Each structure stands twice: as C-alpha cells, then as structure tokens.
Chains A and B, each alone.
Chain A
Amino acid sequence: MSGTAPVLEVEGLTKSYGGVHAVRGVSFSVAQGEIVALIGPNGAGKTTCFNMLNGQIPPDAGRVRLLGEDTTDCPPRVVWRRGVGRTFQITATFSTMTVRENIQVALASHASRTFNLWRSMPDFARRDADALLGLVDMAGYADRPCGELAYGDLKRLELAVALANNPRLLLMDEPTAGMAPKERVALMRLVARIARERTIGVLFTEHDMDVVFEHAERVLVLNRGQLIAEGTPASVRRDPQVRAIYLGEGLLYEGGQHEGANG
C-alpha cells in the first residue's frame, strides 16, 4: 500500500500439530529493505513460520500482512504475486528442465503467460533469464540440465528463481545449508548486495552464526515455537536466554527438541 508500510507484519501467528505447539503467538515485522534473521535450534518452528508466511499452510490463529495488505488466507501463488520470493530448506526445482528453463517458467508466470498454449518457451524472455543467472554467477550453467547440478548450485538457482518476480520480500529458509563454509559466506554476501540494491526485505533462517551476525540487521530468536528474543546481533548475542540455548548451557535449559524436521 503506502510506501513506508513494513513489507511484512506478523501478529500472533500460531500453529500446532496434534500436541506439538510448532509456533506460538509469534509477532514481528520486517521493514522494506531490511535484512532479518530468524534463528533457533532444530525444531524451533522456523520452517513452520515460513510456511505460514507464504500461505503454504494455514495458521491456527494470527494474521500476516504484506505491504499493509492482509494475506493470511491466500495460497502461495497469490502471496507470490504480491511480491514474495521463497527458497526452501530442501531445494525445490524443476529437475527435468535446463537451468535457464527453470527461470523462464517463473518469468512466464510473472508475465501471466502460464496459460499460453502456442508461444515457444525456449525463446521466451531469454535475456531476462540469462541476466538473472548472471546475477547469481551461473551464466555458464544456462543450458545444463538442472537435475545434475551440485547442491550449492541448486541453492543459487533457487535464489535466481525467487528473484524472477522482482520481489519486495525474500523468504529464505536456510539458504546456505549443505554448502561449504566459503560458499556460504559468498552466497549471503550476494543476497545482501542484491537486497540493498533493490530494496528487498529479506527474512532468512540460518544455523551458521557467523553468517547471521555478519549480515542480519536484526535477529529474531525462536525457541519451542516462541519468540524469546529480538534485537540487533550484538544485543541478541548478550541475551542470557539465547546464550543458554546456543552455548551448551542448553543442557540445563529444559533440553530443546531435536527432531530435525525438514520442510
């Protein structure tokens, strides 16, 4: 709506599975162009949160607003059209297509050409697709089958796909998981650069604290479905509760769930 509304506002988001309270009354917001990290131990509810933010699962309670507009009950495709790009913890790409075609599908959808039955897709928006690939340093991979990419390359491809609709907000669930340490740093630097250049808000989850503290302007800490701390990287670092979870004292601190949910 208005130019200054936060890109994302979340209020009292709640979801439980049977007896497990995956997410409990989570509220926060992300300003335009702001880079925010959502951290927490395994099973804290980060992915569940993301899934509710982009409409993949309906929350039990709570509201989600994008640029001032309520999107709580919208399916992912509608949320995407409002300007949200998403990457998944476990990459989801089109493995039978080439790398370029993966981007072209997203571009065609963005241009509302999904139901066009006659145009030739291999020629569709090639330039734009290659430009996006260039942005994530994958220009040389355009004609490679996506199914044979290494995992780190898939993560970068997902980023390029997520950028195809000129998003206002990127939701990145563990964008660097499964990558070598050097690659991680490079990828997050790339994300931060693109986000600053294009004023894209970024909400990302991450287990590598170096990555978090280098790039996040603000950090949200989730534990057992609840937001337990929020603030600048420095203040969160000093927070005793957070230290309890992350610095091994967690053994004393009610033990945390280590179910390693994926998704």
Chain B
Amino acid sequence: MSFYVVQFLTGLASAASLFLVASGLSIIFGVTRIVNFAHGAFYMLGAYMAFTLTERLSGTVGFWGGIVLAALAVAAVGAAVEMILLRRIYKSPELFQLLATFGLTLMVEDLVVILWGPDDLLGRRAPGFRGAIDVFGQNLPSYDLFLIVIGPVVLGALWLLFHRTRWGVLVRAATQDRDMVAALGVNQKWLFTSVFAAGVFLAALGGALQIPRDAVNHTMDLRIIVDVFVVVVIGGLGSITGAFAAAVLVSELNAFGILVFPKISIILVFLVMAAVLIVRPWGLFGKAETAPRRTPGSAVRPWRPLTFAERVAVALVFAAAASLPLFGGNYAISVATEIVIFALFAASLHFLMSAGGLASFGHAAYFGLGSYGVALLAKLAGAPMLVCLLAGPLLGLAGAVVFGFFAVRLSGVYFAMLTLAFAQIAWSVAFQWVEVTGGDNGLLGIWPARLVATPARFYWLSLAISAALVVALRVMVFSPFGYALRATRDSALRGEAIGIDGKRVQWIAFVIAGTIAAVAGALFAYLKGSVFPDSLGISLSVDGLVMVLLGGVETVSGAIVGAIVYKALNIWLVSQTELSKLVLGGLIIVLVVAFPRGIVGMAELVVDRLRRRAQLSASPPSAALAQDIESAK
C-alpha cells in the first residue's frame, strides 16, 4: 500500500515539469498557432543554464535566484528567436513551422554540447529540500513534495495572470479570435513576442526545476517534447487546465505502467491516448479546430502524368543508375544502395504528404518495423531472404493499420504530433523489450541470400524494387484513388458531398505509405546486416521530411531528388564535421524560410516561366497579353 502511495506521489512530482512545458506550448499555440517543436530545446537550455548559474551563485538565494534567472535568460533567447525566425513563418503551412522549430532544436543540441560538453551534469541539490521524508515507512525526497506543490501553484498563478491582468485578457481574447484583437488596435507583434517569451519561460523553468532531481544531458529535449506532445494531444492544445490534467494523468500512467507492464510501460500511455482520441478527438479539454489550415501541396498547378519524352528521360536516368556497378567501387555501390533505399522511403512519405496533405512526423516507425520484421523472421524463425523480404514489411503494414486508424482522425499539427508520439512508442518498445529486440544492442547478423550477396547484386535488387514501387506510387497518384486522396486534401467537405469517405481514403493511403516505407526498411536491414532502435527514431523521421522538403512538397516525385541530394550531402557532411546537427538544423531553417518550394519545385517554376515567355514572344502581343491576364486571375 505505502509503496503505491509513494509511487503516486513520485508521479505527481514528475507531472510538475511536464505541466510547465506543456502549458507553455499551449499558450504559444493559442495565440500564434505555432506548435513549437523547439520547446523541448528551451526546456533543456533552462536546465543547462540553471546548472551553471546555481553553481556560480552560492547560498539559498543564489540557488533559487539562479533557477529564475536561468528561465528569464532563456525567455530572452526565446524572444530573440521569435523576432528573427518565427515572424517570417507565421503564415507558412504548419509543416514548415514544425520543421523550422525542429531545425532550431537540432542546432541547440549541438550548441549545448559545444558549451557544456557531452557528459551528464549533476546539479546542486535544492537548499532546504535535501532530505527525504517518511511516507508510511517509505522514503520520498522532500524536493518531490516541493514539485507536487509547484504544479498547482503555477496553475493558479497562470489563472490569475490570464484573468486579472490586461495582458492576460488580451492573450485570451487572441486565443479565441485573432482578428478581433487586430481590430482592437493592439500591437500584434509585441503581443506575439511576449507570449512566445512567456511560453519559453515556462519551459525553461520546467527544465531548471528538474536539476536537483535528474542529471542534465543533451538528449533531454526530445524525451520531454514527446511526452509533452502526448500531454497536449490528451489534454487538448490551447487549454492550460487540459495541460495540467493530462500532465498528471500521463505521469501517473508512467509511474504505474512500470508496475503493470514492466518491460513496455509506455503501452499504457498509448492505450489511454487511443481511448481519449476515440471519444474526444481534440483532447479532453480541447476544442475542434474550426478553420482548416493550409496544407502544403494545395497551391500547385494541376499535376499531370509524365509525357512520353519525360518517360524516356527517366528511363535513361534509370539505365545510368543501373550501370553504376560497372564503373563504381564497392564503397560507391554501398552508398548508392543506401541512397536508393532512402529514396524509396522518402517517396512513400511524399505520397502521404503531397497527395494526402498528411505530414507524418513519425514515418520512420514503419521503416523500422519493416527492418525489425525482417530481422525477427531471419533470427527467430530462420526464414530465407525471399520470405523475409515479402513477410517482414507486413509488420510495418500492421503498425500502419493500427496507428493510422487513430492518426487520420486528426489533421494538421495534431496529426503530426500523434504520428510522432506513435513512432516514439514503437521506438520505446524496440528499446525496452530486450528479450525480443535485443534492446540497444539491436539484432545482428542478417545476411542476404547468396544470390544477391555481392554489393553490386544487392544494389540491383534494391534499385529494381525501389524503382518498381516508385512507379507504383506514381500510378496511384494518377488513379481514382489518388484523386480521391487529393480531393479530400483540397476540400474534405466537397469530397464527402460526392460520396468519398475521406477518412477511409486517408487511412488506406497511410497504410500504403507505411508498407512501402517498411519495404525500404526491410532492404535496409539486409544492407546493414543489423537492426537498431534508431531505425524507428525521430531523427530518421525528420530526415524523411527534409528529403521531401528539399525535393519539393508540391511536386509529384520531388522527394526522390531530395533524397539523393540530402543523403549524399549528409554522408559527406558527417565525414567533414562533428557538428552535423548544427549544419543540418541551419539547412532546414534556410530551406523553410528562403526556399520552400524545394529543388524540383523551383525547377518546375523556372521551366514554366521560360515556356510562358517563349509563348509570349511567339504569339501576337495582344493575344499574349490577354492570355497573361487570364492566367493571372
């Protein structure tokens, strides 16, 4: 009994930081409509800053002062970020906002390592809360009690702030109706900056308050952000009460999940999240988004199938790619194999994003499930390669069927957060279920059949499978199903009114994309001869997103070009610098802010302009003018 009480209290204590970060995220979202992926990074920065400041400043006042100063300093950084970066992307599609703030996260991760080193740092204990107290014969750190109190105190303070100050009332008004605030003549820029800084302050405070409890390290940002996403999905974005209730719920589920499913405690959180989503898709305290947001892919010229000449060109490129082993060495061939596999992965994600308008932040889950499917069949059942390649991806398919069922109930940022959370759950299972998956050590010794055991042959196999599936994806884009998918993206209302079951169409698209990603993962397992939890991880999911973005979201097959360029760049970059995250993060931000069309998108635009100019000079001026006016409408 007493054990359960202590477990419960520990859960409550963990809820405090989670609530601080989640409420900050919610406040920022309410006003700016940006889901700030970098919130975890600000949390981490808060912890590092607090570590340094509390080391420097002595005594009780020094400690608590250090905590608050740290949060304020990070809030100032947040304000600067808002003014320099976010102001440029308030009008961009959600995907771009998520990606830009993710790029920021990557940069902060490397910066933190530069400034504080890669090792875990143990912070000072809080003065006055060093001991433990006795709860029915069990020890509970007194600092945990302090945290248990802090949660409701902050909730109360926020309530006062939002109901008793002019600023707070403005923020609430802006959350409800942004145009109204603009009409009131309030300086929006200042409001946005202050709201962002306030949200960041809460995140940094959450991080700073963790230091007497947990070691500070450079991976804590992703751990917290995933939990926070789960919290806001359950509680409802934009609701502070929801953030509080869900933070407590999630923390308790984590605390007790360990007792129920010791190996895969995260399952319990997943089950609860799934249940909430079925009953209340917008979270316990959330409201349905009324105005549909712009999704990338909706500002394009109509797509068209390739012309005959273009098909010939593609066939020539394919032939050139297939001839690589005739002149390339083994290293070149294995790099090329990897690129081909990732092109397939990126193409599957692109299908979902461009035709479906569904930006998954957890597409690696299905890639990784495909890898594990192959590895488990090969290692546990000793199945031959052909069987593994055919049956392994079924694990990815199964994952996509289950996760996709829930994910397509949501859209926009909710969809992105949910897919990310699902991927993280899959990752945790692979990481924690050591008996089956080998945990961190992965599964080793997955070798291809003798027939394709040389690098060249395996390359050809990968190239053939990838090319066939990419062609299949293109056929699907131009099939009735692909049109139904695009129809649902363009106007779900109109789609329903002409008999299209949008959710089912999206679900099937999700399963198709997941299964094709799983095939890529299956090939990858054979290429590397091993599988690790990384293959389900966030960084691979984001790699996929960057490939799509680099190639051009609004194109039909740009992701392939994006994958080739990005993967080659990445391999080169890792060989050149230790700070690849810093460079990658910067690249993402530049792409989003300055180059949102991507390579293929830009190329199409240029070709289009040239063509139009040629038409202009070929036709008599009056007709050309009329045509230009027509198309400018």
Contact = CB atoms under 8 A, between A and B. Distances in A.
Contact of B480 (A77, A93, A98, A114): A114
A14 to B, nearest CB: 22
A96 B302 contact: yes
Contacts of A118: 475-476, 479
A11 interface: no
Contact of B486 (A97, A148, A150): A97
B372 to A, nearest CB: 27
A92 B480 contact: no
B481 interface: yes
A75 B494 contact: no
A92 B491 contact: yes
A109 B499 contact: yes
Given A77-B499, A117-B475, A148 B633 contact: yes
A163 B487 CA distance: 17
Contacts of B573: none
Contacts, number: 123
B506 to A, nearest CB: 12
A81 interface: yes
A181 interface: no
A75 B491 contact: no
Contact of B505 (A108, A114, A124, A147): A114
B297 A96 contact: yes
A95 interface: yes
A119 B486 contact: no
B500 A109 contact: yes
Please classify how large the interface on chain A is, using the bins under 10, 10 to 19, 20 to 34, 35 or more: 35 or more
A56 B494 CA distance: 11
Contacts of B498: 77, 80, 105-106, 109-110, 161, 164-165
B494 A93 contact: yes
B302 A101 contact: yes
A150 B633 contact: yes
A76 interface: yes
Contact of A86 (B300, B479, B497): B497
Contacts of A77: 496-501
B479 A119 contact: yes
A4 interface: no
A70 B300 CA distance: 41
Given A93-B494, A122-B305, A105 B298 contact: no
Contacts of A115: 480-481, 484, 505, 508
Contact of A96 (B298, B305, B479): B298
B207 interface: no
Nearest to B305: A122
A244 interface: no
B301 interface: yes
B304 interface: yes
A222 to B, nearest CB: 22
B631 interface: yes
Contacts of A92: 491, 493-494, 497
Nearest to B496: A76
A54 to B, nearest CB: 7
A28 interface: no
Given A86-B497, A122-B478, A148 B298 contact: no
Please classify how large the interface on chain B is, using the bins under 10, 10 to 19, 20 to 34, 35 or more: 20 to 34
B136 interface: no
Residue from B301, B482, B483 with most neighbouring chain A CB atoms (10 Å): B483
A97 B493 contact: no
Contacts of B301: 145
A161 to B, nearest CB: 6
Interface string A73-117: 001110011000010100011111110010011101110011111
B520 to A, nearest CB: 19
A2 interface: no
A106 B498 CA distance: 6
A148 B497 CA distance: 22
A150 to B, nearest CB: 6
B499 A81 contact: yes
A224 B499 CA distance: 31
B278 to A, nearest CB: 18
A80 B480 contact: no
Contacts of A147: 299
A84 to B, nearest CB: 9
Given A77-B499, A150-B633, A120 B305 contact: yes
Interface in B598-633: 631, 633
Contact of A97 (B302, B475, B496): B302
B490 interface: yes
Contacts of B501: 77, 114
Contacts of A121: 478-480, 482-483
A114 B486 contact: no
Contacts of A114: 480-481, 484, 499-501, 505
Nearest to A110: B499
Contacts of A93: 490-491, 494
B65 to A, nearest CB: 48
A108 B484 contact: yes
Contacts of B508: 115
A124 B480 contact: yes
Nearest to A116: B480
A144 to B, nearest CB: 9
A98 B487 CA distance: 12
A258 to B, nearest CB: 18
A147 B302 CA distance: 9
Given A96-B486, A108-B484, A147-B299, 15 more contacts: A56-B496, A77-B496, A95-B490, A97-B490, A105-B483, A105-B484, A105-B498, A108-B483, A109-B480, A114-B505, A115-B480, A115-B505, A146-B302, A149-B633, A165-B499
27 contacts: A77-B499, A80-B496, A88-B494, A93-B491, A94-B490, A95-B298, A95-B490, A96-B298, A98-B302, A101-B483, A105-B483, A105-B484, A109-B484, A114-B481, A114-B501, A115-B508, A116-B480, A117-B476, A118-B475, A119-B480, A120-B478, A121-B483, A122-B305, A122-B478, A145-B301, A146-B302, A147-B299
Q: Which 7 A-B pairs have the closest CB atoms?
A: A92-B494, A94-B490, A108-B480, A109-B499, A106-B498, A76-B496, A113-B480
Interface of A: 54, 56, 75-77, 80-81, 86, 88, 92-98, 101, 104-106, 108-110, 113-122, 124, 145-150, 161, 164-165
